[in-house]
């Protein structure tokens, strides 16, 4: 597992004020007022997810772990929050044009779910080998599914071209203040239930969930330590945070499709550069072992991205011993084939 050491430069980042507008994309950044508005919208559609703690998991970790069970959302992932808030903010003209996006699955399910709720035509572009559970879910929710490319970034290009050709509303998967505001609401729920959390560990694919956690977490609990986690085989967001400049990876080599992003997005990066305390990389083997450890100690099934946070927590256990640690289980859309493969390859720690 790879880590960036924290220090003076890191602390300065965590205290730096946020700009009103992303200087790279020109998109405005979300605010806590946006998060509060998102919470009011989302409360009409979703109940708060549980914050779970079990003695068996705490005993293995050496600290109190509080699991935010976003795997129990209607689509099995946290992204549904952002989709609902974004769709509520579209104008009637934008809804009539329809929406187009790209996704490896969870963001696409979010947009499909929200589009169904608001009666909006939705087209989702996915990689050719996308998770079949997520593809079937998007279809069941009424979205039109199209396939292009070997990974998310190639399908994103196809989605952008499709939206432009049809004058549809293109929805970026992370570079949108409404998505970040929506997903930030799970952090608000966590801190209301457990105000004295010391550490919050959050996975990062495109970075919307992590940016939202930094925004809401630092606003509500300035002393909260926020730690991001990304796959070692797809480190674009991690490398962007580390270097202070947007980075692109040559590859997205991980079984965890929710983390398989080769390009970092500028809007969440603006928040991460100024609010994130630490960033960790975890290997596929560590994620697989954590899927099994989570299943064994809590009976919760997580997909790779959803177990990445637990993998980081386990690797950090000596550093955060005795603390109250929030761990976001961001999604549970694991196929039976991947579970069988994981059981054959690894053992729980």
Paired tokens of 347:
């053992």
Within 8 A by CB and 6+ apart from 32, the residues are 215, 216, 219
Predicted confidence band at 13 (pLDDT cuts at 50, 70, 90)?
A: low
* 165 and 200 within one domain: no
Average pLDDT, rounded, for the chain:
94
CA angle 294-201-210, nearest 5°? 120
* 319 and 185 within one domain: yes
CB 152 within 8 A of CB 102: yes
* 197 and 327 within one domain: yes
Q: In whole angstroms, how large is the CA radius of gyration of the chain? A: 18
The residue range of the domain holding 235 is 2-77+178-345
Within 8 A by CB and 6+ apart from 29, the residues are 18, 19, 20, 21, 22, 177, 267, 270, 271
Which of residues 144, 174, 204 is at a domain's end? 174
Given a cut of 90, whether residue 269 has pLDDT beyond it is: yes
pLDDT at residue number 326: 98
CB 236 within 8 A of CB 264: yes
Report pLDDT digits (tens) over 278-318: 999 999 999 999 999 999 999 999 999 999 999 999 999 99
Predicted confidence band at 114 (pLDDT cuts at 50, 70, 90)?
A: very high
Which of residues 174, 195, 213 is at a domain's end? 174
Query: Alpha-carbon torsion 309, 314, 319, 324, what sign?
Result: positive
CA angle 185-37-26, nearest 5°? 90
Report the CATH number that the domain containing residue 104 is assigned in CATH. Answer: 3.40.50.1100
3-state secondary structure the chain: CEECCCCHHHHHHHHCCCCCECCCCCCECCCHHHHHHHHHHHCCCCCCCCEECCHHHHHHHCCEEEEEEHHHCCCCECCHHHHHHHHHHCCHHHHHHCEEEECCCHHHHHHHHHHHHHCCCEEEEECCCCCHHHHHHHHHCCCEEEECCCCHHHHHHHHHHHHHHHCCEEECCCCCHHHHHHHCHHHHHHHHHCCCCCEEEEECCCCHHHHHHHHHHHHHCCCCEEEEEEECCCCHHHHHHHHCCCCECCCCCCCCHHHCCCECCHHHHHHHHHHCCEEEEECHHHHHHHHHHHHHHHCCCCCHHHHHHHHHHHHCCCCCCCCEEEEEECECCCCHHHHHHHHHHCCCC
Residue 305 backbone dihedrals phi, psi, to 5 degrees? -65, -35
Q: How many residues does the chain have?
A: 349
* 138 and 228 within one domain: no
Report pLDDT digits (tens) over 152-167: 889 999 999 999 999 9
Give me the residues paired with residue 2 across strands.
Answer: 281
* 319 and 235 within one domain: yes
* 193 and 53 within one domain: yes
pLDDT at residue number 8: 32
pLDDT at residue number 12: 41
**Strand 122-126's sheet: what is its strand order?**
144-147, 122-126, 99-102, 169-171
* 265 and 124 within one domain: no
Residue 107 backbone dihedrals phi, psi, to 5 degrees? -65, -40
* 71 and 124 within one domain: no
Pairing of strands 199-203, 324-329: parallel
* 149 and 92 within one domain: yes
* 213 and 185 within one domain: yes
Domain count for the chain: 2
The closest of 252, 112, 253, 83 to 173, measured between CA atoms, is 83
pLDDT at residue number 249: 87
* 279 and 208 within one domain: yes
Integer Cα distance of 245 and 304 in angstroms: 27
Q: Model pTM greater than 0.95? A: no
Given a cut of 60, whether residue 9 has pLDDT beyond it is: no
* 305 and 204 within one domain: yes
pLDDT at residue number 15: 63
Which of residues 174, 201, 221 is at a domain's end? 174
């Amino acid at each position: 597992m790879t880590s960036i050491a924290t220090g003076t430069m890191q602390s300065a980042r965590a205290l730096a004020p946020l700009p009103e507008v992303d200087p790279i994309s020109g998109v405005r950044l979300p605010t806590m007022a946006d998060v509060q508005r998102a919470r009011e919208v989302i409360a009409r559609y979703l109940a708060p997810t549980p914050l779970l703690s079990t003695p068996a998991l705490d005993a293995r970790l050496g600290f109190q772990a509080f699991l935010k069970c976003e795997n129990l959302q209607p689509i099995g992932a946290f992204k549904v929050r952002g989709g609902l808030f974004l769709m509520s903010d579209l104008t009637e003209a934008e809804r009539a044009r329809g929406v187009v996006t790209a996704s490896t699955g969870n963001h696409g399910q979010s947009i499909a779910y929200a589009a169904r709720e608001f009666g909006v035509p939705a087209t989702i572009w996915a990689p050719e080998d996308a998770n079949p559970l997520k593809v079937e879910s998007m279809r069941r929710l009424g979205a039109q599914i199209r396939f292009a490319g070997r990974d998310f970034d190639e399908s994103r290009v196809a989605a952008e071209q499709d939206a432009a050709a049809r004058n549809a509303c293109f929805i970026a998967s992370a570079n949108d203040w409404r998505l970040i505001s929506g997903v930030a609401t799970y952090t608000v729920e966590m801190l209301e239930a457990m105000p004295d959390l010391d550490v919050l560990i959050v996975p990062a694919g495109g970075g919307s969930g992590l940016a939202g956690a930094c925004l809401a977490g630092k606003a509500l609990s300035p002393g909260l330590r926020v730690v991001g986690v990304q796959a070692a085989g797809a480190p674009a967001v991690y490398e962007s945070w580390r270097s202070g400049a947007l980075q692109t990876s040559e590859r997205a080599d991980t079984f965890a499709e929710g983390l398989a992003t080769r390009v970092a997005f500028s809007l969440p990066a603006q928040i991460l550069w100024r609010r994130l305390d630490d960033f960790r990389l975890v290997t596929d083997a560590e994620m697989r072992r954590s899927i099994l450890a989570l299943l064994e100690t809590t009976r919760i099934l997580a997909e790779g991205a959803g177990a990445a946070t637990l993998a980081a927590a386990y690797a950090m256990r000596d550093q955060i011993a005795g603390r109250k640690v929030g761990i976001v289980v961001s999604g549970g859309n694991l196929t039976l084939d991947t579970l069988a493969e994981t059981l054959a390859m690894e053992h729980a720690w």
